[in-house]
Amino acid sequence: MRVEQIAVFLENKSGRLAEITATLATAGINIRALSVADTSDFGILRLIVDDVEQAKQVLKDGGFTVGITNVIAVEVDDRSGGLASVLKTIDHAEINVEYMYAFVNNSGENAVLIFRFDDMDRAIAALQGDRFSLLSGEQICSL
Amino acid sequence: MDTLFWEEEMETLPRAGLESIQLRRLRHLVARVYKTVAPYREKMDAAGVKPEDIQSLSDLAKLPFTVKEDLRENYPFGLFTVPMEEVVRVHASSGTTGKPTVVGYTKKDLETWSGLMARALTCAGVTPKDMIHNSYGYGLFTGGLGAHYGAERLGATVIPVSGGNTKRQITIMQDFCSSVLLATPSYALNLADTMADLGVDPAHLSLRVGVFGAEPWSENMREEVEQKLNIKAVDIYGLSEVMGPGVAMECLQTSRGMHIFEDHFLPEIIDPDTGEVLPPGSVGELVFTTLTKEAFPIIRYRTKDISRLIYETCECGRTLVRMEKVTGRTDDMLIIRGVNVFPSQIEHVLMGTEGVEPHYQLVVNREGNLDTMAVDVEVSEQLFSDEVRQLENLTRKIQTDIKDLLGVTCKVRLVEPRSIQRSEGKAQRVIDNRKI
């Protein structure tokens, strides 16, 4: 149960984020979730979009460095302790979080947590073992 | 001003007398090198020239050039002309593709060298009464030890302080009453700025003259360093392939050109494209033939330094020809904080790093008085990771590899693909923003 995420290299200069989002908008691609990791020298933009293949193609054509990574999307109730319960499972299984970000879906009832772990297979097993709801790419896009 | 000489007779020879000494030494050298060093013999045979063909100084032009590549091909000791037991010291400088170029000295070579270095220091008005503060780096680099033994030979007192630890250097200058500073010009400026930060007034120091070399510097830098340190600044020239510091030296009387010690080094100016010897007074590439070296003589070594020879007799009375300040290079060599850096060396490191594309650019700046170098590397898809840590590890690895190979600290910056300008033909690998 993995979700494909687009990652784009961002050089540290003004206007790059705007160019990427404009490129995606022109192609009619919808961004479901995103995060930016930044250092003093460069940034990495991570996106969950409704059409991964097309997004990758248009960004590559636009001259960006693009990679596709697998992440895990966990749906939790949008209430206090939602994230904590997921991390408790991960901690017990001695798995490390490489990065994460989150968004709340339209209905406002559920939150979706996007994770990259150092051991994705064991993370999936652990989360499923504790009966967490993992979403597929299609499910995220239809939220 | 009275001129001080170290070897007055040799330094003031009439040209005819000098040339007859040069010819005798040259013929002896060519015969010896032909007999003892196979790579020289092979090149001469290929050019169809025999030692007997050298009948006059102008016959020098018949001999093939020696280039840095020849030193690399015969790494490490292949061009030495004496058995290793006669070699008492080696020095090395950075090579263009990772391997250093190695030079060697016999006991007599070291005597010659220290004598020439003493001659150079005397040219700058240094006497046995002086306290010499030697900030050139000690080690494989010829600067530190070369200057050191020359200063001792002269009979002055040497402080072998080497580079770095600037505050301590200033304390030593104050306490030991250093009167002569030997350093790269950029380090001299660094010392001056640190003094200003510490509130040390150079007028209260004993410093009176600075002998600066090992990197290009302009007349503007001379004015700046003279004013900031309250000294007279003179230029020294040398390169390890020819000997080290003490190949040519500016005198105190005129600040135009360095006297080449022609009884030991025969200079030529050539057209870097055709290799033709240019008429006296032309600007071109400086070529040296050593006349007296034993372990590592060199014939027609192309320095890639652009200069011009001045034949008019100098006010100081020396008849030795002067070379103008080096105004540029025929290759893309950069000198970063006194270290020779070739873009090809950086390329070598990058090519050895998995996933790195051959698109890179070196950006050199001078911040304060220190040179900084940034290496911009394009991030290929293969190299790219969505994890910050991976990309940071990569830049750190490249920085460490460059530091290990070149001894120069640089900053690696990842940039987007195709963001480094592609030029027609030869890529522009270097952006040098320094105003030297």
pLDDT on residue B358: 65
CB contact under 8 Å between B384 and A67, yes or no, is yes
Beta-carbon separation of B419 and A37 below 8 A: no
- Residue B103: strand, helix, or coil: strand
Between vectors from CA B155 to CA B151 and to CA B161, what angle results, nearest 5°? 40
Which element (helix H / strand E) includes B129?
Answer: none
The minimum CA-CA distance between A17 and chain B, rounded to whole Å, is 13
Q: How close is the nearest chain A Cα to the Cα of B382, in Å?
A: 9
Taking residues B319-330, report their average pLDDT.
Answer: 89
- Residue B178: half-sphere exposure toward Cβ, Cα within 13 Å: 25
Per CB-CB distance under 8 Å, the chain A contacts of B392 are: 39
**Tens of pLDDT, residues B276-301:** 999 999 999 999 999 999 999 999 99
Q: Encode pLDDT of B243-269 as tens digits.
A: 999 999 999 987 789 999 999 999 999
Question: Does B427 have pLDDT greater than 80?
Answer: no
Is the pLDDT at B368 greater than 70, yes or no?
yes
- Give the chain A residue nearest B392 (alpha carbons): A39
Say what the pLDDT of residue B283 is. 92
Contact assignment for B384 to A7 by CB distance below 8 Å: yes
Q: How much of chain A, in percent, has pLDDT values that exceed 70?
A: 97
Please check whether residue A37 touches B, CB under 8 A: yes
pLDDT value at B425 more than 70? no
Residues in chain B: 436
The CATH topology of domain A3-69 is: VC0802-like (3.30.2130)
Tell me what pLDDT residue B97 has. 56
Cα B262 to Cα B290: distance, rounded to the nearest angstrom = 9
Query: Is there a contact between B395 and A41 if contact means CB atoms under 8 Å apart?
Result: yes
A139 close to B (CB below 8 A): no
Looking at CA atoms only, how far is residue A65 from chain B in angstroms?
Answer: 6
Whose tokens are 């220091």? That residue is B121
* Beta carbons of A9 and B392 less than 8 Å apart: no
Q: Please tell me the least confidently modeled range out of A15-24, A33-42, A63-72, B91-100.
A: B91-100
Q: What pLDDT was estimated at residue B102? A: 95
A92 falls in which pLDDT band (50, 70, 90)? very high
- Closest by CA position to B18, among listed B26, B28, B10: B10
Closest Cβ–Cβ partner in B388, B395, B419 for A44: B388
- Chain B residues within 8 A (CB-CB) of chain A? 379-381, 384-389, 391-392, 395, 413-419
- Residue B102 pairs in a beta bridge with B92
Measured CA to CA in angstroms, residue B190 lies from B167, B195, B197, B402 at distances of 10, 9, 11, 24
Q: Which of A110-119, B40-49, B406-415 has the lowest mean pLDDT?
A: B406-415
Question: Is the pLDDT higher at B159 or at B220?
Answer: B159
Partners of residue B416 in chain A, C-beta under 8 Å: 9-11, 16, 63-65
Residue A142: the pLDDT is 75
Q: Mean per-residue pLDDT for B347-361?
A: 79
Give the minimum alpha-carbon distance from B388 to chain A in angstroms, rounded to a whole number: 7
The label of the residue with tokens 């987007």 reads B416
Given a cut of 70, whether residue B96 has pLDDT beyond it is no
Mean pLDDT value of segment B22-49? 96
Rounded-to-integer distance, Cα B119 and Cα B113, Å: 10
Q: Is the dihedral of CA B251, B253, B259, B264 positive or negative?
A: negative
The complex's ipTM? 0.83
Of the partner residues B380, B387, B395, the one whose CB lies closest to the CB of residue A65? B380
- What is the pLDDT at residue B216? 75
Residues in chain A with CB shorter than 8 Å from the CB of B380 are 65
pLDDT bucket at B15, cuts 50 / 70 / 90: very high
Rounded to whole angstroms, the Cα distance separating B22 from A77 reads: 93
Q: Calculate how close chain A gets to B413, using CA atoms only, in Å.
A: 7
**Partner-chain contact A116 B387, CB within 8 Å:** yes
Contact A11 B380 (CB under 8 A): no
**Residue B168 carries which DSSP code?**
H
Average pLDDT, chain B: 91
Same CATH topology for A3-69 and A71-142?
A: yes
Domains of chain B: 8-331 (3.40.50.12780), 335-432 (3.30.300.30)
Give percent of chain B with pLDDT exceeding 90.
68
A39 touches chain B (CB under 8 A): yes
CB contact under 8 A, A39 and B388: yes
Residues in CB range of B344: below 8 A, 6 or more apart = B96, B97
Q: Which residue has the higher pLDDT, B182 or B312?
A: B182
The letter for the amino acid at A97 is: V
Closest B-chain CA to A70: B386
Using an 8 Å CB-CB cutoff, list chain B residues near A61: none
Local confidence band at B1 (pLDDT 50, 70, 90 cut-offs): low
pLDDT at A41: 85
Q: Does A99 touch chain B (CB under 8 A)?
A: yes
* CB-based contact, A120 to chain B, within 8 Å: no
| Cα-Cα-Cα-Cα dihedral sign, residues B362, B363, B369, B370 | negative
Examine the pLDDT at B327 and tell me if it is beyond 90: no
User: Residue B98 — very low, low, confident or very high, per pLDDT cuts 50/70/90?
Assistant: low
Q: What is the pLDDT of residues A10-51, one digit of tens each?
A: 988 888 889 999 999 999 999 989 999 988 889 999 999 999
* Interval B219-236: pLDDT, tens: 878 888 999 999 999 999
Subunit contact A64:B416, Cβ cutoff 8 A: yes
**Å from A60 to nearest chain B CA?**
10
Res. B94 pLDDT band, cuts 50 70 90: low
Structural domain spans, chain A: 3-69, 71-142
In tens, the pLDDT along B115-147 reads: 999 999 999 999 999 999 999 999 999 999 999
**Is the Cβ pair A63, B416 closer than 8 Å?**
yes
A69 touches chain B (CB under 8 A): yes
Chain A hits for B387, Cβ within 8 Å = 44, 98-99, 116
pLDDT at A108: 67
What confidence tens digit (pLDDT) does each residue in B379-400 have?
Answer: 888 888 888 888 999 999 999 9
pLDDT of residue B132: 98
Average pLDDT (B68-72) is: 90
Task: At A99, list the tokens.
Answer: 């990065």
CB atoms within 10 A of CB B114: 21
CATH architecture type of domain A71-142: 2-Layer Sandwich (3.30)
Q: Give the pLDDT score at A78.
A: 83
Mark yes or no for CB contact B386/A46 under 8 Å: yes
Contact B143, B187 (CB under 8 A): no
Output the pLDDT for position B360.
83
* C-alpha distance from B389 to closest chain A C-alpha (Å): 9
A140 min Cα distance to partner chain B (Å): 20
pLDDT confidence band for A140 (50 / 70 / 90): confident
CA of B380: which chain A residue's CA is closest? A65
Q: Do B384 and A65 touch (CB under 8 A)?
A: yes
Residue A32 in contact with partner chain B when CB distance is under 8 A: no
Q: Which residue has the higher pLDDT, B343 or A124?
A: A124
Span B172-223, pLDDT tens digits: 999 999 999 999 888 898 899 899 989 999 999 999 999 999 877 878 788 8
What does the DSSP 8-state code read for residue B142?
A: H
Least Cα separation, residue B415 to chain A (angstroms): 5
> How close are the terminal C-alpha atoms of chain A, in Å?
16
